[in-house]
Each structure stands twice: as C-alpha cells, then as structure tokens.
Amino acid sequence: MIEVRDLRVRYGTRTVAHVPELDVGAGECVAVVGESGSGKSTTLMALLGLTEGAEVSGHVRVCGVDVLTAPARRLREIRGARVALVMQSPQAALSPTTRLGVLMRRALDLHDVDASERAMAEAVEAVLLDPAILRRYPHEVSGGQAQRFAIALALALGAEAVLADEPTSALDVTVQAEVVGVLRRLRKERGLALLLVSHDLALVSTIADRVLVMKDGEVVESGPAARVLAEPSHPYTRELLEALP
Ligand SMILES: Nc1ncnc2c1ncn2[C@@H]1O[C@H](COP(=O)(O)OP(=O)(O)OP(=O)(O)O)[C@@H](O)[C@H]1O
C-alpha cells in the first residue's frame, strides 16, 4: 500500500527528512516517532506530494501511484479518497460556517458515494461519534472529535490507508488515545493501512507493528514495535522512553 525508498526532502540546502525504507501493507500499522522538528510531518506530507517548495527525491509509491512522478490528476485520485490524511488540527481545514453534515454530504456527492442521512450516521457511528455531531459547526467539536470525523469521512469515501499526524502537546494525550483506539479497531475490521506520526512512543507502540524513530531528519532506529520499546538500540530512543511520564 505504501512503499518508500531513500526518500529525501530538502528545503534549500537543508535535508529535513531522509527515510531509507518504509513499507506499510494492508492491515499493517507503522508509527514514526521523534521530537518536534525531527521531520515526521514532512515525511507524511511527502507521501501525498504535499511538500510545497521542497526538493523531493527517491521512490514513493502509495496505492499504486508513483507519487514523485505522477501527474496532478493521479495525485488527486489518492488524496482524500483513497488515502485519508488526519491532520493535527483538522478544524482549521474545515469551513467554519458549514455544518459537518453538509460538508460530509458535499464530499460524498462529489465522489458519487451514498450521502443519505442513514449512510452518514453509520459513517460517524463507526468512529464512535453520535450522529448529532453532523448538525454541529467545526468550532463546536473537540480536536479528537474533529479527527474522528475526518476518519469517518475518509472511510465513507472508501479510503484504504490513513495517515495520521498526532498533536504534539502533552495536554492532548487523551485525544491521541481516543483517536488511536478508533484506528486500532478500524484497522482490524477494515484492513486499513495505517501510518501514524507521534512523539509518544508508548502510545503508538500499543497499536504499531513497526516503529521508525527520527531525529534531526534521519531515521536513527527502526524495527518491530515490541523490540524497539523493550530493547532500544539507539541512545535517542532510550531518551524518548525515559521522557515518558
Ligand atoms: N516549508 C518549509 N520550509 C522550510 N523548512 C521547513 C518547512 N516545513 C518544515 N520545515 C522544517 O523541517 C523540519 C522538520 O519539520 P517537521 O514539521 O517535519 O517536524 P516534526 O517532527 O513533524 O515536528 P512536529 O512534531 O512539531 O510537527 C523543521 O526543522 C522545520 O523547520
């Protein structure tokens, strides 16, 4: 589903992310962890060709599309519909004057997907939200609810992969846990490929099969989540683990 080889993202002369190898198959979950500024979000955005102004090289294949060479039309096919991007603050990306239900109906109509009240209610219930949320405006829901709404919309559109960029603030740990809980269940039920970005190694290891640890744009350690957590081989990974509350 996702295949990355020797991905390099540069802004000017500075390499902000270098990922030698990253694979996520259907039903698998891979987490990218590291402190703020380590290149996690940049890596995620590069997978959808969304690193504006950057020089990107290497090989990136997502849902059969060669992201670095594909024409804009092919990239639009995977963005939003086949691959869901769950952002740190999804409310910011939503129109503040449009109710969530209207927004969902428009998106489903655009892709010729069933946009009946019942189908929309089922979509939000699948991420453990009350269908009443469809009558709310984006500023009337919490960050975690907005993230779950974004996942519901993606699933209704038939997404095969979810890329989630988790909030980095320690205050948001309950939100993260809430969203990760939903993703964990959906991954099993629907065979979604999941790529999670987080600074919280302990949280992601509860869902991820494999973990990549990034520092200053480089992958310093990668491997099965259980191994990385139990026997971290890099001092930086040990630091991340020791920093946990
Ligand atoms: N458009 C840009 N132009 C120049 N530098 C950028 C740009 N976007 C990101 N960077 C730089 O790339 C580096 C990696 O940023 P990135 O957002 O990927 O880190 P991160 O690990 O996701 O951090 P956070 O957890 O805070 O989101 C940072 O030093 C950042 O300043």
Helices 143-156 and 100-110, packing angle to 10 deg = 20
Instruction: Judge if the beta carbon of residue 198 lies within 6 A of ligand 1.
Output: no
CATH number for region 2-243? 3.40.50.300
Q: What is the ipTM of this complex?
A: 0.93
pTM for this model (two decimals): 0.88
Which atom of ligand 1 approaches the CA of 214 most closely? 21
Question: What 3-state DSSP class applies to 165?
Answer: strand
3-state DSSP helix/strand/coil percent for the chain, to nearest 5? 40, 25, 35
Residue 241 has pLDDT above 80, yes or no: yes
* pLDDT tens digits along 23-82: 999 999 999 999 888 999 999 999 999 999 999 999 999 999 999 999 988 898 888 778
Whole-number Å distance between alpha carbons of 124 and 103: 13
Q: What is the pLDDT of residue 168?
A: 52
Strand partners, 11: 14
From ligand 1's centre to the CA of 215, what distance in Å?
Answer: 12
Residue whose CA lies nearest to ligand 1 atom number 10: 16
39 within ligand 1 shell (Cβ under 6 A): yes
Does the structure show a pLDDT above 60 at 169? no
Which is nearest to 33 in space by CA: 215, 169, 186? 215
Check if 40 has its Cβ closer than 6 Å to any atom of ligand 1.
yes
- Percentage of the chain beyond pLDDT 90 is 53
Residue 226 Cβ contacting ligand 1 at under 6 Å: no
Q: Which of 16, 18, 199, 218 to mutate to test the pocket of ligand 1 (most atoms within 8 A of CB)?
A: 16
